[in-house]
Structure 1
Amino acid sequence: MSMGESMIAVIDGTAVRTGLFLDGEWVAAGAGGTFGVFDPATEEHLADVASATPEDAIRALDAASRAQKEWGRTPPRERAELLRRAFALIEERREQFAAVLTAEMGKPVTESLGEVAYGNEFMRWFSEQAAHVNGGFGQNPSGQTNIVVSREPVGPSLLITPWNFPLAMGTRKVGAALAAGCTVIIKPAALTPLTMALFVQALSDAGVPPGVVGLLPSERAGAISSALMADARLRKVSFTGSTAVGSILLRQAAEHVQRSSMELGGNGPLVVLGDADVDAAVEGALIAKFRNGGQSCVAANRIIVHRDLAERFTDAFVERVRALRLGDGREEGVDIGPMIDRAQRDRVAELVDGAVAQGATVRVGGAVPARTGSFYPPTVLTGVSPESTICNEEIFGPVATVTVAASDEEALRLANDTPYGLVAFVFSQGIERALWAAGELEAGMVGINRGLVSDAAAPFGGIKASGLGREGGDAGIEEYLETKYVAIGK
């Protein structure tokens, strides 16, 4: 069924498609019906979006499988130019993207514009990578055989994106996969599907061939992924989300030995060593903790400060947090928007209440405001025990915990005392000391004297329970490529 005018929503002046995108066409809701998308700041209804069924998922895989061979053989320069056209369209439409991001996710418009700029860098980066995938040729040591090594696309790929960075988490997966020559099926988060619809429209406008990109918004995430992963034609799954869900997907991927990339949960420490610049550490902690309202897998979940600096750091940090403005992300001067929904807000409130019951002190914030929307104030807790629940679960909200360590060595021990290993931050005025600490920290990414590590040109990913594989950088495209070896006799 072709999509009618009823499957378009207007969000703050921007028209957004709300259907499925299958085999190059927007398709109206079928047997799955629709689900609602809501503004977390006002709790107003934004749109009804088509909810894909497992049958829709197989239709998307049929199209992706048909298109795979031709797309994989498309000259790399053509794929590069298509990605570059998509980059230009996103840049041209950045205000529309930002408006929709703020409406459905809640982040301040300035942060939404920042996500558009950051997310779009993946399109530019992978457009530049597409034409530079190289193999090799040479003799084996005996001189009896010529060795030819080529790189080929993995094949149809399922890309599952989260709600907290609806554009950037999509572009860094889709850009890499398309650059490598893989067809893709995108399953966006049900809480924020509208931004991804804008992105897919940009890809379509840039000239992506039918079947190369499919979009399956759905309330039935588990049923969609299960149907696709049970089909041996799917060759790759990339997921960003919780470790619990990632573990389920890895078990499902084992049946057909599907390539898997998993960017999972975190419990990132921010360590302030005894020789740190306190002002720099406070500034870095604000960014690392409160960017995107703390709803980030690379947020500083635990702030660990050397006892010699603890009082100065905490007093300065609390004052800066007290000055952060909470409000609707559309309003000028807002620093912290709402949380994604009431369920997430209530979970964070329970973590804070639990920490207080376990002996922590609220220095600022700490109470749900009496207002419409899923708001929680920027909060700082001190006297937090490393054994407390809030230090052992990913907060994913605007709450900072401060723990005091007796020495740098104890600070690093506390930092590593977690099954997760996505990101860590360390502050020190001595480069040798900072590099020593970075080497000791068990994390896939470390920021030294800065509260932000994400970069399209750098490999993003974690170790331990925080995932498998890398996105971005030179490694990002490798996740979508197979290596073929051909032996040529003389």
Structure 2
Amino acid sequence: MSEASVVEAVGKELFIGGKWAPATGGRTFAVDDPSTGEVLCEVADAGPGDGMAALDAAVAAQADWAATAPRERSEILRRAYEVLLARNEDLALLMTLEMGKPLAEARGEVAYAAEFFRWFSEEAVRIDGGYQVAPNGSGRFLVTRQPVGPTLLITPWNFPMAMGGRKIGPAIAAGCTMVIKPAEQTPLSMLALAAILAEAGLPAGVLNVVTTTDPGGVMEPLIRDGRARKLSFTGSTSVGRRLLEQCADKVLRTSMELGGNAPFLVFDDADLDAAIEGAMQAKMRNIGEACTAANRFYVQRGIAAEFSRRLTERMSALAVGRGTEPDVTVGPLIDADAVEKVGELVRDAVERGAKVLTGGATVDGPGHFYQPTVMVDVPRDARMGTEEIFGPVAPISVFDTEDEAVAAANDTEYGLVSYVYTNDLKRALRVSESLEAGMIGLNQGIVSNPAAPFGGVKESGLGREGGRVGIDEFLETKYVAVAL
């Protein structure tokens, strides 16, 4: 399909109760192409009443959906998985147009999103329980697990389809209905996903999609309503804190995948080729706009100069441009504010003594581009040491001892992922156990996998998504005491 065709093929209205409907008053907002600044289309701009209608639909569908056979839920997910793979090219182009990532990465994300549906299609039929003799022999304990109920899902713009799949997959498998609000910058991928799930046989009202430029005004009333029993959110820690406060009012179950500040540790016994390759993956996946992106590079003194030279060589060779163009490996950042934020962090580090080896500047428009950048001698008090960069900037600092490296890595309120490169098995285990993070990339630069539990500690979040435990976030445990 052409660019215009893939955009035209997507529903632009709200998806509520299995039907497409305009927002109250016919309000719409523009979806822009970040590589050109041009408007791709207009989509419905929901208000609080629209959000409540979506919750009404989810509540109305909950009982029947919870009673649906696990195998039927499984087969819906499996059909959706197959459709996603069959339409990978068109869905990838749609994602590139609204988010900016190069087509190759967009294709990978569509496949990644599909894998969540395949994984949870298999988990849907494995929801278990238990039977136990009471310790005194006088009775029996029956344990069952049931859907938590209607859920509220909020997804970010950086992985517009994968984050939807990671939340929708386990909710469907567990028997929960949903109201999902995608990021306003990237609503089209979610709208396309909703249509595919409906095509795969998902009953009306199980998934409801609300697009809006007023997320607080639309979602807070749903959180405080009390009928929704769970919120799953992926986004910034600051927004996550506010949502947790709101959820406390009705004691909602919460899953929070929040900010990151990932350290990337390279010891002098590491395979340098592997470390450079891993650094490129951990830093430049999704243009650096990922919560798992390597945010701080700590390299042992004996190899720091060589590591910096080789990373600079790789980063300076990257092709920057519109993600639809052949050979482009670095697309635009999501908007002008993102470019300004990255620029501020680089300028702050330079003012504090850091040296730019390559990049360090914006790219002339149109579009929101920033040069792939490598910096050395970055002081510990630079802002980029404590703030997510969310862009193509790799700041390098030097360390001497293992203890020094671990202390620097843990010197943050975040704890999503850490990366470690070493060929010393004992060191690998010591450091992995010492790092305060929910995930460790040991001699590899990508940790995300639908079959593995994804999540962080400290202010990087609560709960886990994916893996065998991912469905647990959408299930309640019920204990039945039986007297004999």
TM-score, scaled relative to structure 1:
0.97
Give structure 1 regions of 4+ aligned residues with deviation exceeding 6 angstroms: none
Residue 269 of structure 2: aligned partner: 275
Residue 292 of structure 1: aligned partner: 286
Alignment of 1:415-430 (within 5 A): 415-430=409-424
Residue 394 of structure 2: aligned partner: 400
Residue 4 of structure 1: aligned partner: none
Q: Following TM superposition, by how much is the alpha carbon of 1:14 offset from its aligned partner in structure 2, in angstroms?
A: 5.6
Task: Supply the distance in 2 between the matched residues of 1:232 and 1:73 (Cα, whole angstroms).
Answer: 22
Secondary structure class of the residue paired with 1:309: helix
Contact 1:11–1:103 at 8 Å: present in 2 too?
no
Task: Supply the distance in 1 between the matched residues of 2:113 and 2:26 (Cα, whole angstroms).
Answer: 30
Secondary structure class of the residue paired with 2:24: coil
- Unaligned runs of at least 5 residues, structure 1: 1-8
Secondary structure class of the residue paired with 2:454: coil
The one-character-per-residue Cα deviations of 1:177-203 (angstroms, maximum 9, x if unpaired) are 110000010100000000000000000
Residue 458 (structure 1) aligned to one of 444, 447, 452: 452
Residue 328 (structure 1) aligned to one of 291, 311, 322: 322
Q: Sort the Cα spacing of 1:32 and 1:411 in 2 relative to 1 into closer, same or farther, 3 A.
A: farther
Residue 436 of structure 1: aligned partner: 430
Q: Following TM superposition, by how much is the alpha carbon of 1:91 offset from its aligned partner in structure 2, in angstroms?
A: 1.1
Alignment of 1:143-154 (within 5 A): 143-154=137-148
Task: Supply the distance in 1 between the matched residues of 2:99 and 2:376 (Cα, whole angstroms).
Answer: 29
Q: How many aligned positions are there?
A: 482
Residue 36 of structure 1: aligned partner: 30
Q: Following TM superposition, by how much is the alpha carbon of 1:102 offset from its aligned partner in structure 2, in angstroms?
A: 0.2
Q: Following TM superposition, by how much is the alpha carbon of 1:30 offset from its aligned partner in structure 2, in angstroms?
A: 2.3
What letter matches 1:326 in structure 2?
V
Q: Following TM superposition, by how much is the alpha carbon of 1:124 offset from its aligned partner in structure 2, in angstroms?
A: 0.2
The one-character-per-residue Cα deviations of 1:97-146 (angstroms, maximum 9, x if unpaired) are 10110000000000000001111100000000000000011211111011
What letter matches 2:419 in structure 1?
F
Alignment of 1:174-189 (within 5 A): 174-189=168-183
Residue 235 (structure 1) aligned to one of 194, 215, 229: 229
What letter matches 1:338 in structure 2?
P
User: Once the two structures are aligned, what percentage of the paired residues are identical?
Assistant: 51
- Unaligned runs of at least 5 residues, structure 2: none
What letter matches 1:399 in structure 2?
V
Task: Supply the distance in 1 between the matched residues of 2:332 and 2:301 (Cα, whole angstroms).
Answer: 33
Alignment of 1:114-263 (within 5 A): 114-263=108-257
Residue 51 of structure 2: aligned partner: 57
Task: Supply the distance in 2 between the matched residues of 1:323 and 1:31 (Cα, whole angstroms).
Answer: 50
What letter matches 1:153 in structure 2?
P
Q: Following TM superposition, by how much is the alpha carbon of 1:29 offset from its aligned partner in structure 2, in angstroms?
A: 2.9
Secondary structure class of the residue paired with 1:16: coil
- Superposed CA RMSD in Å reads 1.0
Contact 2:7–2:94 at 8 Å: present in 1 too?
no
Contact 2:140–2:481 at 8 Å: present in 1 too?
yes
Alignment of 1:307-318 (within 5 A): 307-318=301-312
Residue 25 of structure 1: aligned partner: 19
Task: Supply the distance in 2 between the matched residues of 1:304 and 1:239 (Cα, whole angstroms).
Answer: 30
Q: Following TM superposition, by how much is the alpha carbon of 1:384 offset from its aligned partner in structure 2, in angstroms?
A: 0.2
Secondary structure class of the residue paired with 1:482: strand
What letter matches 2:245 in structure 1?
R
What letter matches 2:81 in structure 1?
F
Task: Supply the distance in 1 between the matched residues of 2:405 and 2:8 (Cα, whole angstroms).
Answer: 48
Task: Supply the distance in 2 between the matched residues of 1:479 and 1:228 (Cα, whole angstroms).
Answer: 19
Task: Supply the distance in 1 between the matched residues of 2:142 and 2:6 (Cα, whole angstroms).
Answer: 54
Task: Supply the distance in 2 between the matched residues of 1:11 and 1:299 (Cα, whole angstroms).
Answer: 33
Contact 2:98–2:188 at 8 Å: present in 1 too?
yes
